[in-house]
Structure 1
Amino acid sequence: MTERQLIVRFLEALRELPGVHADLDQWEPAGSTGDRGHDAQIDLHVGGKSFILLIEAKKAVYPRDVRQVLWRFREASHGRPKGQGKEPLSLLVAESISPGAKELLRDERVGYYDSGGSLYLPAPGAYLYIDKPPPKTLAKSVRSLFSGRRAQVLHALLVQHQDCQDWFGVKELAQQAMVSPATASQVLTELERFDWLVSRGQGPSKERHLREPAALLDAWVKQIASIRPPNLRRYYVPATKADTLLERVGEVFDAHDAAYAISHEAAAQRYAPFLSSVSQVRTRLLIGSNADAAIADLGARVVNEGANLAIIEAKSPGELLFREQVGGIWLASPVQVYLDLLRGEGRSKEMAEHLRKERIGF
């Protein structure tokens, strides 16, 4: 959408509200935005009061952009006279505004509108607030950040922070995440827009530091429901008690050189005990002939109910990143186990929060 289309849509949204009258007073001519600090001016009448809305339009706004927007609004307001008894109010119109950016704008009591229909206008004596889901363009962009190879970069960042590694370069991160430097760089640029990273240096020597690991992990949690879960195959391994199945699975998979990483309750129980017993083992397993041979050696048979072994198909080694060997068993990283538990049933979500508190720490 063009800036003018956004502003027209905002004007229409105002006019649809009961008791609100809004008229476009003027467009700012091209080249004047830097001097005047706004792209359009709207006369607004609401609640028996009159205001002048000074509009700045943008394509997309993230937390990092909010500081610049606030500075522009403050600069533009210095020495601005009130017109005909109408109080001037600055308002940001954008195709998409991230949740974090909206929160910052509300904290500063600065109005906004996005193409998804969200509206915030804190005017003296009049208050408008409509909160709607983010536009599909923003939702799709954010969702893609938490899936595929991009998610491997996020995984590397969170594990790095957990291991107290402070500053890192793009090439170093790309190697750890098993992605190209271009992919790592794209993800870091996105995270900087969310204001979760800080950087120092320039060019090839530029380094970053994850300042807000909890915010990044929380954002990943919010995306879980919209990300397609990996394929799951359910098996029953006969003549094996629940408390010894984990060791047997690890022993057989290692014997066949089948790369795996135990996750869900069985792994969480090893990292931070919470349940009295675990009845099922769920593991990521790199699919291939080695995996097939290991499953056959276990004597596992496919079932629809009563499974005690569930295989999460891993199609690349990147899906087993940062696994840890604990007591001779390969466990998925605590971050991965935490995210997997949040997809589970029963007390898995309680177990997830226990794991995050005891083992992840942010």
Structure 2
Amino acid sequence: MDMSANIRYSEHIHWTSNMLKFEIEEGELLESLVTAISKLPEGQAIVRAREVPIGRNGRADALVDIVVGGRPMQLLVEAKRDAFPRDVRESVWQLRTNAAHLPTDGRDILPFFVARAISPGARDILREEGIGFYDLGGTLYIPAPNAFVFIDRPPPRNTRKVFESVFQGQKARVVMAVFERRHAWLSVKELAETTEVSPATASSTLTEMERREWVDVQGSGPSKLRRLRAAEDVLDAFAPCRSGWIKSAAVRIMPLPAKPQHKLMRPISPASPNSDAASFPAHFKSRSSTIWMPGRSARDGISAL
């Protein structure tokens, strides 16, 4: 019996199911955006159209007519489930291209990005590019002329696992190995052997690090190599996740001093390869079992590492 047709059919059903699910999520995102804008002073919003063709090959997920502070404008919306720096860089180009080909009736056209959750690094890129954005945590950024709005809130609690999952389980071993060997170019095979995880786990973890723009990439295919480029960003991203690890460890937590006594510190060994409960620990440990953790920002102390 030929099973290949059934397998292809099953994959098609799975893909179609995911698309339908995202369409529902996209509708909820747009509804939440309209509600958030309507709560602004003199704020009004209505979804004018969805899945709008633009130019020869362009497409907008939605057009939203809004009024903020008495000023009418139109949002050209790109929607994603979750967003990291690499995701929004790709969307910025598409949004700008679509905006250039969108007919205007005299109103300002504002490229706009919506997602369930947008990472801090992705938010920074969108602000730098002058792209508006909104997520389900309530963060709203509208950089329009004479109608600037910025409500900054943390990612929604039920989506934080999207950002923190890379510091959990077997993925944490891979991230830690990349951090500890941050000056070396590393392959999937090498990391899988070093951390004793499957090549699939090593590969998926490195892909997540790419989305966050934590690593540089060299080559492609089986010979593809990565090297850490943003040690500070890794530590800053880990800081909100550290409480779960701290609760399970009988250690004393101290802030990282302005001039860490790194000469008294030695690298922590990775968790047992047989344990799936490994999390991303502090990176240096003193002989007295004190964990030196970064404060609000690891950028102040990373140069000493």
Shorter-chain TM-score range: 0.7 to 0.9
1:340 aligns with 2:291: yes
Match of 2:25 in 1: 2
SS class of match (1:158): helix
Q: Could you list the per-position Cα deviations for residues 179-228 of structure 1 after superposition, in whole angstroms to 9, with x for gaps in the alignment?
A: 22222112111111101112222222211121212211222233213445
- RMSD (Å), alpha carbons: 3.6
| Counterpart selection for 2:38 from 15, 24, 38 | 15
Aligned equivalent of 1:230: 248
Where in structure 2 are the equivalents of 1:157-306 lying within 5 Å? 157-161=178-182, 164-165=183-184, 167-232=185-250, 271-273=262-264
What's 2:7 paired with? none
Could you tell me which residue of structure 1 aligns to residue 77 of structure 2? 55
In 2, the alpha carbon distance for the partners of 1:284 and 1:56 equals: 43
In the TM superposition, residue 36 of structure 1 has moved relative to its aligned partner by 4.2
Q: Is the 1:146–1:154 contact (alpha carbons within 8 Å) kept by the matching residues of 2?
A: yes
Q: Which runs of 4+ in 1 moved over 6 A?
A: 31-34, 352-355
Deviation at 1:81, TM superposition (A): 3.8
TM-score when scaled to structure 2?
0.76
Instruction: Provide structure 1 residue ranges, at least 5 long, that are not aligned to the other structure.
Output: 235-262, 275-282, 286-313, 320-332, 344-348
1:110 maps to amino acid: I
- Count of paired positions: 269
Deviation at 1:112, TM superposition (A): 0.4
Partners of 1:269 and 1:129 in 2: CA distance: 36
Contact 1:143 1:226 in 2 (8 A): no
Structure 2: tracts of 5 or more residues without a match: 1-23, 276-280
1:334·1:355 contact (CA, 8 Å) conserved in 2? no
Q: Which residue of 2 aligns with 1:316?
A: 272
Q: List per-residue Cα deviations over 1:101-151 (Å, max 9, x = no partner).
A: 011001111100111211100110001111112123431122222133222
Name the SS of the counterpart of 2:67 in structure 1.
Answer: strand
Tell me if structure 2 keeps the 8 A contact 1:198–1:210. Answer: yes
1:69 Cα deviation from its structure 2 partner: 0.9
CA distance in 1, matches of 2:282, 2:69: 53
* 1:223-268 Cα deviation digits (max 9, x unpaired): 213445334299xxxxxxxxxxxxxxxxxxxxxxxxxxxx989xx9
- Kindly state the Cα deviation for residue 8 of structure 1 after the two structures are TM-superposed: 1.6
The residue that corresponds to 1:118 in the other structure is 139
Q: Percent identity?
A: 35
TM-score of the pair, normalised by structure 1: 0.65
* Alpha-carbon distance in 2 for matches of 1:115, 1:34: 32
The answer to whether the Cα contact below 8 Å between 1:200 and 1:206 also exists between their aligned partners in 2 is yes
